[in-house]
Chain A
Amino acid sequence: MRGVRTRLPAMLLVGLVLAAVIVLVAVAGPILWQARADALTGDIRQGPSGAHWLGTDALGRDVFWRTVVATRSTIEMAVAATAIAAALGTFLGAMIVSAGPAVRTLGDRVIDLLLSFPPIIIALTFTAILSPGRASVVGAIGLAFCPQFARLTNRLALSVQERDYVTVARLLGVGRFRVVTRHVVPNIAPPLLVLTSVGFATSVVTVSGLSFLGLSVQPPSYDWGSLLASGLRNLYDNPGEAFGPAAAILVTGLAAGLVGDGLVRHMDPRGTSRPHRAVRRSADPPTAGDASRAGGAAPVASVRDLSIRRPDGRELVHGISLTVDAGEIVGIVGESGSGKSLTALALARLLPRELEWSAAHLNVNGVDLADPAKAPPARLATELGIVFQDPSSSFNPALRIGTQLTEVLRVHAKMSRRQAHALAVSRLAETRVSSPELRMRQYPHELSGGMRQRAMIAAAMLPEPKLIIADEPTTALDVTVQADVLRLLKQINTTHGTAILLISHDIGVVSSLCDRICVMYAGRVVEELSVEDLRRRDVRHPYTRALLAASPDTASERDGARLVPLPGRAPAAEDQGPGCSFAPRCPLAVPVCTEIVPPLVAEPSGNAVACHVETAAAEVRS
């Protein structure tokens, strides 16, 4: 990442150029133009003109040149104040870190305390002690901003100290102070540099502010702040007199701010230019096979020819089809990136906005989802329950469990608070959440992980949906509670007849729970089969076989304790070739595999497989 960005960000460049100009003016100003700035003329309080670009002040002096000459005074003070703040703050912060734990705690507290006061009030206090004047203002501002440097140093140094090389240095008996100067400081310098430029911007503003208040330079000396104060008094006669110093302060602050922001961007790899992605629409033929079984009761969910595309046009899911019958548990299994979760999200109409999708048919329990306008929110919310992957992040941390559980019932089923509450409590009890009344009043962080997932299942169950989509419901959980949650899903399926679409990367989980399994690979269904066949290891597709061999739950006796990990990795959407996407990893691949996408071909058993070699073999068999 370093190598990619040798170019400085434009922001930083503009900031540095501006800063250089300002420094130049600060150095040259008093040498070249002092006479012009101090020349008294008869034209007092004149507005801007060709002779006096920003007009004149109450004594007829040229405002533009006074502003230019004042640059040095202000910049000197701001630089000095920033230097004091940075040096003292960094030193204190480093001292606190390298001191013992008692001093460290105390130091932290004191820094917190100082940070809780506005810096200008701290600066005023010091100015009062040191009596008004240039030097005391510089000192006061330096002291007022030093807690911020101390805090940053402190934080950064602590995080560096926990790294290995510091521990090693300490084990080797390197002294505390030396550890800080040799190992810690070089690692924390860049963020401190950013704070220094931000601190400089603030110093310019505060230095000018105190001088504006009349606490800093005393006449006949002047700086931007005192010029602005006099400009405010003459604002009616010559607005230019205030404009000059105001613009100077703003531009200087802006330059320092740009340098600071630019440095942040320069050091942070995120947020700069994104990697360029080629835009090319893939021209896959639609997969021919539709493995949905004809006849029987209307399915609770059916998807036909679902495609999902990224904003750049890359297809992530290539025209897949899927059905879930009433009361059935269907599993979708595949590696991450296989499109299984996207398929589930599309079925729930929860795809991220930036993804485009299209489908010939997308239907949940008779609600047509393919046309967003026709999907009534109340039916969607009540006929489709969703169990999300990570229960610790999927409950809103700021709301009580009860509020979140009853929300759908109250909003969509128009239930009274009491009714909804009673129903939620009974569901929590059914999902074996202990003391449900108490849980209802608790916040998510007060529940254990397994408890939260059971509460989530209860939430999904509450409106008695026909279908529950469970997206990796056990992945984020402790092994000890995983089986428990799966059993709970099974129990719901048997007692309420709720159909379940289970998404998992774990073929063991899927084979223990589901009636029918779809295996997905690189955005396509590659095999669809009944759980009996799966358990008998009677699978067709080489990928499914590889999955079986790689899972501890399903690896056969013959494989022994030795698992066979699948070599290579699933292709990213970018580098999918024209043929079977599994070809690069497939032990059976033949030349045709890299040229033509194998269609999903249904077998008489109801199973289906998308593989050239397997399909040919089946034809030979029959």
Chain B
Amino acid sequence: MATTAAGAPAVRRGLARRVAGSPWAGYLARRLGGVVAVLAFLIVVTFMIVRWVPGDPARQIVGLTAGEEQVRQVRERLGLTEPLWRQFGTYLRGLAHGDLGTSFTTGQPVSSMLSQRLPLTVELAMSALVIVLVVAIPLGTAVGVAQQRGRARVATSSFGVGASVIGAMPEYIAGTVLVYVFALTLRWLPVQGGSGPTAMILPALSIAIAPAAVLTRLVRNETAAVLSQDYITMAMSKRLSNTRLLLRHVVPNVVTSTLTLGGLILVALLGGTVVAENVFNMPGAGAEIVHAIVRRDYPEVQGIILVLGLVAVLINLIVDVTLGLLDPRVLTGARS
């Protein structure tokens, strides 16, 4: 990114040096260091879940009435009989081979359960993400611009209230309302289950509504902030068309400052999938973790938290790289 294809001789000479000395090298190294730390943390935490269970986890699994022999078997299956560091070694070795253990309830490998269920969760989160971005960025920018130009005063001033009310609506309420309106009353979309893109619309919407409202407000504020910057006056002195001014000079800066503040909102979408899958009875990883917790299926809980954590890490990394691409100042820390 720091090197363009248009190569004047001077550029070519310094190419190698510039790639090595590119701000990206340091930036990515720092980010990847962070990712490694988070991964280590995730692995330790998921490993410790069973070990931290108060009392005897094996006894909790089999229930109070079961015999001592059964408890011993479960304890062995959990690998709780060995010393802690040996247990951890076994866990790590398993992870390296993609082995996340076997589910207690189904007897299936956790990894194959995940490979069946995770795609749906990711698809759901991605659909919600698309909805959030497609709504928040244009709408927020439009409201910000309208507000700055003093147009549609009633609409723009009631916008803040509306956004905070909608932004406070949790997924399960949004989902319930959506089911009632679109599936039961209007009968436009399937209630629950089903397959294909139509089955994805309501769940994705239920996750996206609140974050979209919050992010729209954030974009609105950032737009107002960008519009009052000196560089916008300078851009206006170039007498560009409104479209060019917006797309070229306003939106990139709005997106960067929004992402800096709003990255966490995007990560929170992942938490929303857990709830939405339960509202809409979708066979994803989020629905499964709730069952697994209720049934004390620790290997499954472990696996799902590990994988969801990984996805969160990935989203954070993507946000960071996007930020670096959009605003080179973040690479060198010139912008904090």
- Which B residues are CB-close (under 8 A) to A438? 10
Counting CB contacts under 8 A, is A213 at the interface? yes
A120 near B271 (CB under 8 angstroms)? yes
A381 near B238 (CB under 8 angstroms)? yes
B184 near A235 (CB under 8 angstroms)? yes
Chain A proximity of B95: nearest CB distance (Å): 17
Q: A209-B170, A242-B180, A396-B249 are in contact. Are A131 and B53 (CB under 8 A)?
A: yes
Counting CB contacts under 8 A, is B290 at the interface? yes
Counting CB contacts under 8 A, is B308 at the interface? yes
B327 near A128 (CB under 8 angstroms)? no
- A124-B271 Cα distance, complex, nearest whole Å: 10
Counting CB contacts under 8 A, is B239 at the interface? yes
- A399-B267 Cα distance, complex, nearest whole Å: 28
- Which A residues are CB-close (under 8 A) to B313? 116
> Contact string, B236-271, partner A, CB cutoff 8 A, digits 1/0?
111111001000110011001000000010011111
Chain A, residue nearest B231 (CB): A396
Counting CB contacts under 8 A, is B233 at the interface? yes
Other-chain contact of B176, A118, A125, A232, A384 (Cβ < 8 Å) = A232
Counting CB contacts under 8 A, is B109 at the interface? no
A445 near B289 (CB under 8 angstroms)? no
- A438-B2 Cα distance, complex, nearest whole Å: 11
B305 near A124 (CB under 8 angstroms)? yes
Counting CB contacts under 8 A, is A294 at the interface? no
Chain A proximity of B186: nearest CB distance (Å): 14
A121 near B274 (CB under 8 angstroms)? yes
Counting CB contacts under 8 A, is A388 at the interface? yes
- Which B residues are CB-close (under 8 A) to A129? 49, 52-54
Chain B, residue nearest A443 (CB): B328
Chain B proximity of A574: nearest CB distance (Å): 22
- A185-B271 Cα distance, complex, nearest whole Å: 33
- A205-B171 Cα distance, complex, nearest whole Å: 9
**B37-53 with Cβ < 8 A to chain A:** 37-38, 41, 45, 49, 52-53
Q: A257-B164, A441-B4 are in contact. Are A386 and B240 (CB under 8 A)?
A: no
Prevailing SS type, chain A contact patch: helix
B168 near A253 (CB under 8 angstroms)? yes
B294 near A398 (CB under 8 angstroms)? no
A124 near B237 (CB under 8 angstroms)? no
Other-chain contact of B290, A213, A250, A378, A399 (Cβ < 8 Å) = A213
Counting CB contacts under 8 A, is B108 at the interface? no
Chain B, residue nearest A148 (CB): B264
Other-chain contact of A246, B177, B236, B309, B326 (Cβ < 8 Å) = B177
B327 near A398 (CB under 8 angstroms)? yes
- Which A residues are CB-close (under 8 A) to B168? 201, 205, 250, 253-254, 257
Counting CB contacts under 8 A, is B8 at the interface? yes
- Which A residues are CB-close (under 8 A) to B8? 437
Counting CB contacts under 8 A, is B173 at the interface? yes
Counting CB contacts under 8 A, is A54 at the interface? no
- Which B residues are CB-close (under 8 A) to A249? 170, 173
- Which A residues are CB-close (under 8 A) to B22? none
Chain A, residue nearest B287 (CB): A213
- A350-B239 Cα distance, complex, nearest whole Å: 10
- Which B residues are CB-close (under 8 A) to A395? 231, 234
B235 near A396 (CB under 8 angstroms)? yes
- Which B residues are CB-close (under 8 A) to A212? 172, 275, 278
Chain B, residue nearest A388 (CB): B234
Chain B proximity of A115: nearest CB distance (Å): 7
- A117-B305 Cα distance, complex, nearest whole Å: 11
Q: A116-B38, A209-B275, A381-B237 are in contact. Are A121 and B329 (CB under 8 A)?
A: no
- Which A residues are CB-close (under 8 A) to B169? 250
Q: How many B residues have CB within 8 A of the partner chain?
A: 80
Interface centre among A232, A350, A386, A389 (most CB of B within 10 A): A232
Segment of A300-308, A404-412, A540-548 engaged in the interface with chain B: A404-412
Q: A209-B170, A212-B172, A232-B279 are in contact. Are A116 and B267 (CB under 8 A)?
A: yes
Chain A, residue nearest B274 (CB): A120
Counting CB contacts under 8 A, is A261 at the interface? yes
A118 near B267 (CB under 8 angstroms)? yes
- Which B residues are CB-close (under 8 A) to A250? 165, 168-169, 173
Other-chain contact of B239, A242, A254, A378, A388 (Cβ < 8 Å) = A378
A354 near B150 (CB under 8 angstroms)? yes
Counting CB contacts under 8 A, is B312 at the interface? yes
> Contact string, A343-354, partner B, CB cutoff 8 A, digits 1/0?
000001010011
A125 near B49 (CB under 8 angstroms)? yes
Counting CB contacts under 8 A, is B69 at the interface? no
Chain B proximity of A596: nearest CB distance (Å): 37
- Which B residues are CB-close (under 8 A) to A213? 274-275, 278, 290
> Contact string, A378-401, partner B, CB cutoff 8 A, digits 1/0?
101100101011100111111100
- Which B residues are CB-close (under 8 A) to A408? 238
Q: A121-B309, A257-B168 are in contact. Are A393 and B270 (CB under 8 A)?
A: no
- A118-B125 Cα distance, complex, nearest whole Å: 13
- Which A residues are CB-close (under 8 A) to B275? 120, 209, 212-213
Chain B proximity of A276: nearest CB distance (Å): 19
- Which A residues are CB-close (under 8 A) to B270? 118, 121
Counting CB contacts under 8 A, is A228 at the interface? yes
A130 near B54 (CB under 8 angstroms)? yes
A205 near B170 (CB under 8 angstroms)? yes
Interface centre among A124, A249, A393 (most CB of B within 10 A): A124
Chain B, residue nearest A379 (CB): B239
- Which A residues are CB-close (under 8 A) to B269? 118
Q: A441-B4, A445-B334 are in contact. Are A386 and B179 (CB under 8 A)?
A: no
Counting CB contacts under 8 A, is A508 at the interface? no
- A445-B169 Cα distance, complex, nearest whole Å: 41
Q: A213-B290, A445-B334 are in contact. Are A398 and B253 (CB under 8 A)?
A: yes
A228 near B172 (CB under 8 angstroms)? yes
A397 near B231 (CB under 8 angstroms)? yes
B296 near A131 (CB under 8 angstroms)? yes
Counting CB contacts under 8 A, is A132 at the interface? yes
Counting CB contacts under 8 A, is A236 at the interface? yes
Counting CB contacts under 8 A, is A215 at the interface? yes
Counting CB contacts under 8 A, is A208 at the interface? yes
- Which B residues are CB-close (under 8 A) to A109? 37
Counting CB contacts under 8 A, is A214 at the interface? yes
Other-chain contact of A388, B41, B172, B230 (Cβ < 8 Å) = B230
Chain B, residue nearest A112 (CB): B34
Counting CB contacts under 8 A, is B293 at the interface? yes
- Which B residues are CB-close (under 8 A) to A437? 8, 10-11
> Interface residues, chain B, CB within 8 Å of chain A?
4, 8, 10-11, 37-38, 41, 45, 49, 52-54, 60, 148-150, 164-165, 168-173, 175-177, 179-180, 184, 229-231, 233-241, 244, 248-249, 252-253, 256, 264, 267-272, 274-275, 278-279, 289-290, 292-294, 296, 298, 301, 305, 308-309, 312-313, 316, 326-329, 332, 334-335
The 9 A-B pairs at the shortest CB distance, nearest first, are namely: A118-B271, A377-B239, A120-B271, A393-B230, A381-B239, A396-B231, A394-B230, A398-B252, A205-B170
A-B contact pairs, 20 of them (CB 8 A): A113-B37, A117-B312, A128-B292, A128-B293, A209-B275, A213-B274, A213-B278, A214-B294, A246-B173, A249-B170, A250-B168, A253-B168, A350-B233, A353-B150, A394-B231, A396-B231, A399-B248, A407-B248, A411-B238, A445-B329
> Given A205-B168, A384-B237, A395-B234, 4 more contacts at CB 8 Å?
A205-B170, A261-B164, A388-B230, A396-B234
